[in-house]
Amino acid sequence: MIKKILIANRGEIAVRVIRACREMGIKSAAVYSDADKTSLHTRLADESYYIGESAASQSYLNQSKLITLAKKIKADAIHPGYGFLSENAEFIKLCEKEKLNFIGPSFKSVEMMGSKTAARGLMSKSSVPIVPGTTKAISSITEGIKSANEIGFPILLKAAAGGGGKGMRKISSEKEFGDAVEATKREALKAFGDDSIYIEKYIENPRHIEVQVIADKHGNYAHLFERECSIQRRHQKIIEESPSSFVDEDTRDRITEAAVNAAKACGYFNAGTIEFLMDKDRNFYFLEMNTRLQVEHPVTELISGIDLVQEQILIASGEKLSFKQEDLKINGHAFECRVYAEDPENNFLPSTGTLIEYKIPSGPGVRVDDGFGKGSEISIYYDPLISKLVSWAKDRTAAIERMKRALSEYQVAGVINNIQFLKSVFNDEKFRRGQIDINYLERELENLIRATLEGKNKNELEDAAAIVSVLLKEKLSGKNYRWLNPETSKVNNNRWQDLMYE
Amino acid sequence: MSEYIISINDKKKKVFYSGNSKISVGNDEYECDLVHLEAQNYLLRVNNIFFEAVSNKLDNERFSILINGSLFEIEVRSSLQEKARELLQQKESAHHKTEIKAPMPGMILRIKKNVSENVEQGETVLILEAMKMENDLRAPRTGIIKEIFVEERIAVEKGAVLFTIE
């Protein structure tokens, strides 16, 4: 069994791993950069080591520093969290060479799933549905039209060398085909220096549905149902839930089976996630596999009762899965929202600063995974995630109400944040009815921002703020400031309070 | 008895403070009580509702105040100060120039406009990279780019003046 884990990450996910370690009686060692001296993970870990300058390349991405440190402090395993080195096959190889237990999959699995085209090929051989399309670049317009008709319009023309949304064009009918091919080729040549293009089926307003899988080193595989992550902005997930309100029993059976097949195809062990796009008829298509712990894993933990991080550690130690597939059932409904230091009213511009106030919600069915405390610094160097706020209740509606309650208890000052914006999503009728897809947020953005402003700038709050500011100004200007209510001033004259606060 | 003018969310509110527990904001009169909890934390009672408040003094006239999770930036001036300010502003508006400052530290990725070029309100003037994200900095009003103080690929501090529009 593993005795000491070096956590090669920061923020909330480092804290999450520390918590699992503590419950299992394993020693945790955190690392921190200059920018993270005030972060929570450095305070909570059994030991914390300075790893380098703030830039990730000098700290959390510096493989040799991490390996040297792990050996020096006699850690026997490394947990990579998500992001940074979590899906870096070279780093996994290096760990193996240095006899350090990497808490994750083998480098072979990571390599097999790392390339999108290779993964697509592997999936189509393993009865996992992929988005229908041509496998090779199209050679002529007539040939292209023939393929397009086989796939069925609308289709998407894509530059083979493309990425980042460039060199893509939606085509709804045969008429548009010729002109669109020419234009896309020109664009592709300009952007990528290669004008080969291929055809993919265009999926209109799909939902993002993903399946949590887990496997040990003894060939036992299981899934922990699906999550829906359709609330996204620029491919960044903002709100996730489990189960999906759209997936019925039959679809669940099929999509979870496909996900387990995908994991088996790459000889996977560790926790992993298979992402799919789902169209309005509940057809689903493989998107990619994430060979690591996912940011949104808490919703799965709450509905399944399984601690995924502890399970990861057991698997890396060579243990078998602690449960069987047939032991699992979906219990209730969970939401997660990502609380970011960003300004929704100002094009979601990230915000930096010191948390001068930080009070987290609690009460029944509320979980906060965070990496900062009062006085922590949110810097420019990393992702602006403050925390993940998670709610659980017996059904979707109750979980929504619980999340709204939790959001209204959350108090953050010092950085601009998206808490009010999240509230306006949980208040939105379409969201509440589950009428969502990956384009929902962009489509509804104007309404949501308006609701955010209305919720925030309520007259009673404005007046209260005005009163506080006037009273403080009076105090500053040295005018006979005193507590307004004589009863209160008595409390403040209490000797015990004087001792405590003076 | 003091009279203040409060600027909040582009609105102005008149506040009368009588010296006892009565405060009126605009036409509404409230009975209030403020308790200092610790450091910047206060508890405010307005009639029968309690609010948790965190105050951050920005300068002698400006406070940022968090009330039940909503953040407000407030300017507080006595009636006299407000009048003096209005007079000053009238003078200045004769030749009006707007400074655009960096909202956060970062690196100038691209400058899309040149000096003396026209810009529409909302048009992107430059792109600032911070926290691994590209942020468009837009013109807050229509006008002509008067000066640009930065170059591409240089790092800027928060609050640095990037360009001006006239």
Please state, for a pLDDT cut of 90, what percent of chain A lies above it: 74
pTM higher than the cut 0.90: no
At A481 the pLDDT is 45
Range of the domain at A150: 141-201
Whether residue A193 is found in the same domain as residue A70: no
Paired tokens of B163: 């360009």
Whether residue A427 is found in the same domain as residue A386: yes
Q: What is the mean pLDDT of residues A91-98?
A: 97
Per-residue DSSP letter, A130? B
At A479 the pLDDT is 56
Question: How many H-runs (helices) and E-runs (strands) does chain B carry?
Answer: 1, 16
Residue where one domain finishes, among candidates A300, A331, A362:
A331
Q: Which of residues 360-399 of A touch B (CB under 8 A)?
A: 380-384
Distance from CA of B83 to the nearest CA of A (A): 17
At A483 the pLDDT is 47
In a domain, A134, yes or no: no
For chain B, the residue count is: 166
Q: Which of residues 72-101 of B touch A (CB under 8 A)?
A: 72, 74, 76
The CB density around residue A206, as the number of other CB atoms within 10 Å, is 21
The widest CA-to-CA distance across chain A, in whole angstroms, is 91
At B139 the pLDDT is 87
Q: Label residue A162 by pLDDT band (50, 70, 90).
A: low
Whether residue A122 is found in the same domain as residue A239: yes
Of B51, B60, B136, the CB nearest to A347: B136
Of B69, B76, B133, the CB nearest to A469: B76
In a domain, A135, yes or no: no
Residue where one domain finishes, among candidates A331, A351, A367:
A331
Whether residue A110 is found in the same domain as residue A256: yes
Whether residue A69 is found in the same domain as residue A163: no
- The CATH number assigned to the domain holding A341 equals 3.30.470.20
Catalytic residues of A: 292
Q: Which of residues 458-477 of A touch B (CB under 8 A)?
A: 458, 460-474, 476
State how beta strands A27-33 and A4-7 pair: parallel
Q: How far apart are CA A92 and CA A114, in angstroms?
A: 13
Q: Which residue has the tokens 């970062």?
A: B106
Q: How far apart are CA A358 and CA A376, in angstroms?
A: 9
Q: Label residue A331 by pLDDT band (50, 70, 90).
A: very high
Q: How far apart are CA A409 and CA B68, in angstroms?
A: 8
- The CATH number assigned to the domain holding A80 equals 3.40.50.20
Question: How many H-runs (helices) and E-runs (strands) does chain A carry?
Answer: 18, 22
In a domain, A170, yes or no: yes
Whether residue A98 is found in the same domain as residue A16: yes
Q: Contacts of residue A476 in chain B, CB cutoff 8 Å?
A: 57, 60
At A490 the pLDDT is 40
Contact state of B76 with A464 under an 8 Å Cβ cutoff: no
At A473 the pLDDT is 87
Of the listed ranges A197-206, B47-56, B91-100, B134-143, the least confidently predicted one is B91-100
The residue that leads in pLDDT, B158 or A488, is B158
| pLDDT mean across residues, chain A | 91
Has the ipTM of the complex gone over 0.90? no
In a domain, A98, yes or no: yes
Distance from CA of A10 to the nearest CA of B (A): 15
- CA A255-A112-A4 angle, to 5 degrees, is 95
Decide if B40 contacts A356 (C-beta within 8 A).
Answer: yes
At B7 the pLDDT is 93
Whether residue A40 is found in the same domain as residue A98: yes
Whether residue A59 is found in the same domain as residue A79: yes
| pLDDT mean across residues, chain B | 87
The CB density around residue B58, as the number of other CB atoms within 10 Å, is 11
In a domain, A29, yes or no: yes
For chain A, the residue count is: 502
Q: How far apart are CA A43 and CA A404, in angstroms?
A: 30
Q: Go through the domains of chain B in sequence order and give each one's CATH number.
A: 2-92 (3.30.700.30), 98-165 (2.40.50.100)
Whether residue A118 is found in the same domain as residue A183: no
Contact state of A463 with B46 under an 8 Å Cβ cutoff: yes
Q: Contacts of residue A410 in chain B, CB cutoff 8 Å?
A: 69
At A425 the pLDDT is 98
Whether residue A119 is found in the same domain as residue A240: yes
Residue A363 in this model has a pLDDT that exceeds 90: yes
Q: How many domains does chain A have?
A: 5
At A495 the pLDDT is 37
In a domain, A426, yes or no: yes
In a domain, A30, yes or no: yes
At A498 the pLDDT is 35
Residue A197 in this model has a pLDDT that exceeds 90: no
Q: Contacts of residue A460 in chain B, CB cutoff 8 Å?
A: 46, 49
- The CATH number assigned to the domain holding A196 equals 3.30.1490.20
Whether residue A118 is found in the same domain as residue A237: yes
Decide if A278 contacts A265 (C-beta within 8 A).
Answer: no
Q: Which residue has the tokens 């006037």?
A: A470
Q: How far apart are CA A28 and CA A15, in angstroms?
A: 10
The CB density around residue A31, as the number of other CB atoms within 10 Å, is 27
In a domain, A153, yes or no: yes
Whether residue A119 is found in the same domain as residue A261: yes
